[in-house]
Structures are given as C-alpha cells and as structure tokens.
C-alpha cells in the first residue's frame, strides 16, 4: 500500500503536492477548492507589506505552437490586507485540518514588524511559515524579496528575527538570481531555518514587440523584468535543489519548486532530495484538477517499483551526481541508427555534419537517402540521438566493456604537470581515441 504522506521540516501533509505561494493561493476560496481537488498543502500567497499592482502582469513564452513553456509575472505579494488573509487562513485550516497551510510572509526589514506578523500568523493556526526572499520584481526595489535573498547576511538576520519568536516550522524561500545558491542556503541555516524552499522565479524580459519596440507586455508603454517560471526553468531548479541537498553545511529538508507540471517532474525533485514539491505555473495553465494525475501517477509508479513510502526514494539520485573530474574518460559510446525505424528526415545528418563531428553519411538506399554512422569517427556526443524524432531509432551503443576507467582527476595525477597537449594525445592514442 503506497503512503504518500510527508513531513517536511515538521509540516505534515497527506501528499507531497503543495501549491506554491502565488496567484492560485490568493484566497481561502481558492485554497479550499484546491484541497477539494486533492492538493496536500498550500503556501498562502505572500502576506505583508501593502502593495498596489499594475495590469498586464503575466507574459509567456510559447514555443513552436506549444503554449506557456515559460511564464513571467510581475504580480506583487497579496494586495489584500493582513487581517483578511489571516482570517481566511484560520477558516481554511478549520475546514481542512489534515492539509498543510504555510503562510508566506514578507514585510519591511524591521525586527518588531517581523515579530508582530509571525505571532499573528501562528495565532491564525498556520502549520508553518515560508519567508519570501525571492520575489525579483517590485518588492526587491523596496528592499524586500530577492533584495534579502541575494545578501546572505540579510538572510541570516531576518531568519533569526523570525525563528526567535516562531513556534512553528520556518522555511526560507531562496531566489535563484544569485551566482551560488549554497550561500543564501547556508545563511538561512545560520538563522536557524527549519527548511529551505527553492527556487523562486528567475529575472527575465519576455520579449520585445517588433512593431512598437515596447517590452512585452507593456504597461502604459513601459515593461521590465519579471519573474520567470514554468517548464522552461525546471532544469535550473533541479540543479539548484541538488546543490542545496548535497551541501553538508546545510542539511535541511527541502520544499522544491520550479517548473513542476506533473508526477514525473515531482519525482525527479524528490529523487534529488525534496520532501514536498510546490506547483504554480501548471495550475495557472490548467487549474487545480491536475493534482489528480500527480497523485495517481506517483502512486502507480511507486506500486510498479515496489515502494511504499516517499522516504524510500528521497534523495536516491543524489549519489549519481558527479563532478566532471570524476567521470570515466574511457567509456566509449557510439551512435547507432536503426534503419528499420529511420524515417529519412535526415535531421541527424545535418546536425552532425554542420554542428558536430561529421561522422554521419547519407547514401542512396532503396530510393531513399539513408543516414549511417561512420563509427570510427563518432565521438559519441549524442546530438543525433537528441534531434531524431523517432523513439529508439538512434541509440548510444556502449563499445567498451566497462573494465577500463580513468577519470580526469586520476589522469592529471599521472601525467606531468603542467599538462601538455602532446601527453594528452599520447594517452588518447593509447586508448584508441581519435580527436578530429
């Protein structure tokens, strides 16, 4: 029997799927509707300093006819009053006691103001607090959001103000708009945070109108950077989550987000160390109903694999992350094209010929142009595999027996330093590796 229950830094929920702090969690009405659909938790849209929004808050990147591969926004934190939000938190918690309600907070950098809102949030009955150090637009210009997340010292300071009065778990939500995500993560740890949420949105300008030269979308002639989310940012989020998860100085539970659209995405984040996963863009595209497949798909996958609890898989992919210097240089793979499956689009040919290593030939066969790999020249780069539109047509075939291994880190210890290209060539030649 699969059990999807989780406990993220002391915040419990019946499944790992939480709505991220964003427009979908703007009100008790919406969150109740989401809980009815099956969401395990919700991070309330950030409560705090008074704000006023503009129109045309959202913009999206469509790709080849596919809508919203990335979503940009400049909506600010909740524009409703603290009182109304806290009242609705209390009401929602009473109606849905088994679900996680986490209050996202953002106020001015003043200890008293922070103490006040934290206490009121606890009184409202929230299960946890998420500190919004991430919003990259609007609030940051006022010294809040990512303005905090980008300076580790501020991160620690405000986290301390919160944790010194909080009786409920505190998650710190990080901005990805930094050069090394581990530093604000360590700062949060130093401030006694109970867990880390990441990633918030990424600074982006979505586009320029070719007729008016205005920034898309234009608000009275002006536009600017917003926070980017959605499927396009998932790989960035996966990497940052793994960096936080692998950092021995942090070692905190993670609530992960960034482009999670379905159960597969969610599992990837869990395999890289996440305990709960948060979703926004996919819900903004399709509504709360998508959680049904997230629960169903995860359950089916776990049943098929024989897992009963998410604890059994959490972080299981982390050990497979390696630095380049620890990868086997002698592993030999070459591309192989299955001529039975090939549909003769020749995209592999032109990709290899123009942009890779010129090792695919086209020759006439049964009235069609058949691409074939010239194996001795194939460096195994995998570009052809990526461009091929047919499943399992191009495969990367292992040509070594796996017995030989030499990593870069091992190699540089053996070869005279400073390393010369001649010595490297000798090594390559010895192992039948031709560089062309």
Work out the end-to-end distance of the chain between its first and last CA atoms, rounded to an integer number of angstroms: 55
Touching another protein, residues 375-394 (CB under 8 A): 389-390
Size of the site for another protein (CB under 8 A): 16
Among 8, 135, 352, 393, the active-site one is: 135
Over the window 239 to 258, marking each residue x when it contacts another protein by CB under 8 A and - when it does not, the resulting string is: --------------------
Out of 90, 205, 345, 433, which residue is the one contacting another protein (CB under 8 A)? 345
Residue 368 in contact with another protein, rule: CB under 8 A: yes
Q: Which is nearer to another protein, 327 or 390 (CB)?
A: 390
Q: Minimum CB separation from another protein for residue 289, in Å?
A: 24
352 catalytically annotated: no
Q: Minimum CB separation from another protein for residue 353, in Å?
A: 9
Q: Which is nearer to another protein, 212 or 300 (CB)?
A: 212
Q: Is omega for the bond preceding 342 within 30 degrees of 0, making it cis?
A: no
Q: Nearest CA to 22 among 127, 135, 120?
A: 135
Out of 109, 203, 262, 346, which residue is the one contacting another protein (CB under 8 A)? 346
Kindly indicate which of the ranges 58-66, 201-209, 252-260, 277-285 contains the residues binding another protein, using the contact rule CB under 8 A.
58-66
Cα separation of 187 and 156, whole Å?
5
What are the CA-CA distances from residue 36 to residues 6, 20, 92, 283, 288 (Å)? 19, 16, 12, 14, 9
Tell me phi and psi for residue 20, to 5 degrees: -75, 155
Q: Are 44 and 31 in contact (CB under 8 A)?
A: yes
Residue 343 in contact with another protein, rule: CB under 8 A: yes
Q: Minimum CB separation from another protein for residue 390, in Å?
A: 6
Q: Minimum CB separation from another protein for residue 360, in Å?
A: 11
Cα separation of 201 and 325, whole Å?
31
Residue 349 in contact with another protein, rule: CB under 8 A: yes
Q: Are 333 and 366 in contact (CB under 8 A)?
A: no
Fill in the DSSP letter of residue 10: T
Residue 347 in contact with another protein, rule: CB under 8 A: yes
Residue 64 in contact with another protein, rule: CB under 8 A: yes
The C-alpha torsion from 133 through 134 and 140 to 143, rounded to 10°, is: 10
Q: Are 266 and 16 in contact (CB under 8 A)?
A: yes
Q: Minimum CB separation from another protein for residue 215, in Å?
A: 19
CA 72 to chain CA mean position, Å: 15
- Site residues for another protein per CB under 8 A: 64-66, 342-347, 349-350, 362, 368-369, 389-390
Residues with a catalytic annotation lie at 135
């Amino acid at each position: 029997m699969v059990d999807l229950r989780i406990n993220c830094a002391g915040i419990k929920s019946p499944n790992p799927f939480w709505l991220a702090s964003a427009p979908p969690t703007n009100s008790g009405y919406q969150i109740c509707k989401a809980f009815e659909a099956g969401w395990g938790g919700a991070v309330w849209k950030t409560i705090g300093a008074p704000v006023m929004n503009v129109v045309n808050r959202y913009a999206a990147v469509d790709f080849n006819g596919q809508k919203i591969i990335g979503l940009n926004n400049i909506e600010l934190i909740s524009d409703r009053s603290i009182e109304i939000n806290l009242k609705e938190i209390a009401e929602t918690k009473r109606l849905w006691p088994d679900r996680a309600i986490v209050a996202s907070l953002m106020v001015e950098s003043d200890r008293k103001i922070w103490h006040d809102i934290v206490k009121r949030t606890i009184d409202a009955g929230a299960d946890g607090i998420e500190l919004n150090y991430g919003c990259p637009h609007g609030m940051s210009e006022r010294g809040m959001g990512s303005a905090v997340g980008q300076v580790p010292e501020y991160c620690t300071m405000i986290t301390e103000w919160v944790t010194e009065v909080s009786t409920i778990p505190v998650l710190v939500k990080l901005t990805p708009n930094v050069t090394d995500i581990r530093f604000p993560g360590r700062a949060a740890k130093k401030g006694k945070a109970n867990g880390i949420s990441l990633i918030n949105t990424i600074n982006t300008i979505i586009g320029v109108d070719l007729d008016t030269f205005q920034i898309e979308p234009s608000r009275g002639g002006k536009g600017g950077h917003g926070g980017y989310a959605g499927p396009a940012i998932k790989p960035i989020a996966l990497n940052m989550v793994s960096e936080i998860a692998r950092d021995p100085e942090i070692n905190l539970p993670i609530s992960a987000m960034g482009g999670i659209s379905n159960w597969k995405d969610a599992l990837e984040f869990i395999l890289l160390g996440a305990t709960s996963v948060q979703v926004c863009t996919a819900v903004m595209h399709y509504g709360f109903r998508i959680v049904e497949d997230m629960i169903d798909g995860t359950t089916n996958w776990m049943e098929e694999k024989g897992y009963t609890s998410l604890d059994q898989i959490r972080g299981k992919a982390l050990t497979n992350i390696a630095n380049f210097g620890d990868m086997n240089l002698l592993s030999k793979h070459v591309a192989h094209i299955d001529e039975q499956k090939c549909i003769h689009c020749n995209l592999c040919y032109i990709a290899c010929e123009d942009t890779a290593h010129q090792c695919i030939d086209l020759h006439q066969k049964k009235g069609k142009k058949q691409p074939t790999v010239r194996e001795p020249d194939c460096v195994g780069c995998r570009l052809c595999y990526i461009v091929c539109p047919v499943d399992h047509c191009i495969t990367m075939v292992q040509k070594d027996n796996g017995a030989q291994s030499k990593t870069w880190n091992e190699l540089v210890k053996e070869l005279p330093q400073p390393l010369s290209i001649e010595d490297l060539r000798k090594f390559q030649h010895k192992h039948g590796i031709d560089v062309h």
